[in-house]
Amino acid sequence: MVRKVGGPGNYIAMVVDDKTLNVLSSCCSVYDVLYDGVTIVELISKQRQPLPELNALYFLSPSEDSVRALVEDFKDEKKPQYRSAYVYLTSRIPDSSKIIATLADSPTLLPRIRCLVEFNLSFIAYEQRVFHFGMPNALLELFPLPSPYLLQKVADDLVSFCITSGQKPAVRYHRNQLPWCEQLATLVHRGLEAEEVAQSDSPATTLLILDRSVDLAPLFIHEYTYQALAYDVLDLPVCCHTPPKKASLDTPIIMEDVYEYEVTNNMGLVERKKATTSEDTLQAIRSLPQYQEALSRYWTHVTLSEKCFDKLQELKIMTVGAVEQDLCCGVDKDGKEISASKLLAAVGSLVSDDTIQPDEKLRLLLLEFTQILGLDPADRAKLNFTQLPCHANKHRYGACVGVQHNVFSHEMRMLAAAPVCNIGQHANACVPPIHFLDEQ
C-alpha cells in the first residue's frame, strides 16, 4: 500500500483514524513507513496543516465518520488539504452504509481520488499468535440482548482475518442455552462461502466459536507463566485499554535520523581503527543503540521477574493456588478425585484466614461458585464473603461481579454457565458439546 503510492523520491502524507492507527502500529514502526516515502502520519480526526503539494494516502476504517472527515479535507476546491487522495479501507464497505453516497455527493473530492481499495485488515495483530478486533466493550454489548450489528461486525472481522491468512476453516460452535455462538457461526460460514479465499499450503483448519461459559475458571485462577503472571499480580495495563501505540504520532522524525547517525558513526569508528583491540571493539558494540536498547529490555524483565516473585510471597499465592488447581481440576496433584465437601472445607479455611488478601478470597469464591454446581445454599452460606471487594480482574469479563450470591448467580445465568448437574458435580462434567455448523 505505502510502496505503491509512495516510494523513493515520491513523498506522501499518510492519514489514519483511531482504528487504522492501531492496525498500522501493530505490524510496523514509524521508521518503516518513513523509509518508504511517508513524510508524516496524522490522525484524520485532528486539525492538520494543509499540505497541498503532497499526495495523501488515506488508510481508514469504512466508517461514516472517517469518510465525512475525508470529504471535509477537500471541501474547498481552491484550498484542498492535499493534492490528491489514495483511499484504502480496512474492510469491505457495508451494503447498508451511506459511504458510497457520501463520496458520490462530493464534487470537489471525486476528481482528486486516485484509487479506492478495500482490504481485509480489520483486525489488530497484538502478538505473533494473538489478534483482536479492538472491541473492549463487546461482552457488555452482547448481554443481555446482543446487537445484530455487533454480531455482524464480529463475523465480518473474522472472515477478514481468514481471507488474509489464506484459510477457509470448518466452522464449529459451542451450543448452550443462548443462541449467539450459533448465530455468529452461521454469519461467519455465510461470509466465507461468499468469498473466494486463496488457499494456503497449510493443513485444513477448524474455527471454534465459543463464549466465556465454556470455561470460566481462567477468569479467576492465577497463572504462573511469566507474561500472564506479570499482568495478573503487577496490575500492568492490558491490550487496547491503553494507548501506547499512539505515541508513534508524537515521535519526531529527527529521532530516526539521530539513530541512523549513531549507528553509522560507531560502525565507522571500528572500521577506521585497523589495530583495534578486542576491548575497544567490545566497547564500540556496547555503545550501539541496539545493544543499549536490548540491555534495557533485559533488565526490565529481570526487574519484573523479581517483583512477580515478591508478590507471590506477599499474597501467599502459592498457598491459594494449590486450592485453585484442585477446584479447577476436580482432582488433587496425585490425580485422585476430591469430594465437594473437602473442596468447600479448603476454601472455607482460606476465606477465614486473616492473612489472605480479600481479593484472593473473592477469586476463590468465584471459582468455587463456577466449578462446583448444584450445592445446597446452606453450604454456600457458611462461607463468609459479605465484606469482600469487587474482583480486581473484572476487565477480563467486562463486569464487576457483586459479592452477593444472588447477584453472582444472575450473572452466571446470563452467561449460560449453569447447566443442570447432579449435586456437587464438577463443572468440567457439565460442559455442553461442540457442534459442527451443519449439525441439527
* 3-state SS, residue 433: coil
* 3-state SS, residue 194: helix
Write the single-letter amino acid at 123.
F
In whole angstroms, give the CA distance from residue 73 to residue 46: 11
Write the single-letter amino acid at 71.
V
Q: Do the beta carbons of residue 220 and residue 368 sit within 8 Å?
A: no
Quote the pLDDT of residue 87.
96
Closest CA to 415 of 172, 130, 174, 148: 174
DSSP characters for 236-298?
Answer: ---GGGS-GGGGGGGS-HHHHHHHHHHHHHHHHHHHH-TT--HHHHHHHHHTSHHHHHHHHHH
In whole angstroms, give the CA distance from residue 90 to residue 156: 11
Helix (H) or strand (E) holding 3: helix 2-5
Could you read off the pLDDT of 344-379 as tens digits, one per residue? 889 889 988 999 999 899 888 888 888 877 666 666
Locate 126 and state its grid cell: 497484538
Could you read off the pLDDT of 79-110 as tens digits, one per residue? 999 999 999 999 888 877 889 999 999 999 99
User: Under CATH, to which class is 2-122 assigned?
Assistant: alpha beta
In whole angstroms, give the CA distance from residue 55 to residue 49: 14
Quote the pLDDT of residue 270.
46
Within a 10 A sphere around the Cβ of 296, how many other Cβ atoms?
Answer: 9
Burial of residue 31 (number of CB atoms within 10 Å: 0-12, 13-18, 19+): middle
Q: Do the beta carbons of residue 42 and residue 3 sit within 8 Å?
A: no
Q: Do the beta carbons of residue 224 and residue 324 sit within 8 Å?
A: no
Strand partners, 299: none
Dihedral Cα 218, 219, 224, 226, nearest 10 deg: 110
Burial of residue 391 (number of CB atoms within 10 Å: 0-12, 13-18, 19+): buried
Phi/psi-derived region of residue 386, left when phi > 0, alpha when psi is between -120 and 50, beta in every other case: alpha
Quote the pLDDT of residue 402.
38
User: Under CATH, to which class is 317-430 assigned?
Assistant: mainly alpha
Domain boundaries, the chain: 2-122, 130-210, 253-300, 317-430
The list of the chain residues with pLDDT below 70 reads 7-8, 197-201, 238-288, 290, 374-440
Write the single-letter amino acid at 379.
D
User: In sequence order, what E strands does 102-169 have?
Assistant: 113-118, 124-127, 130-132
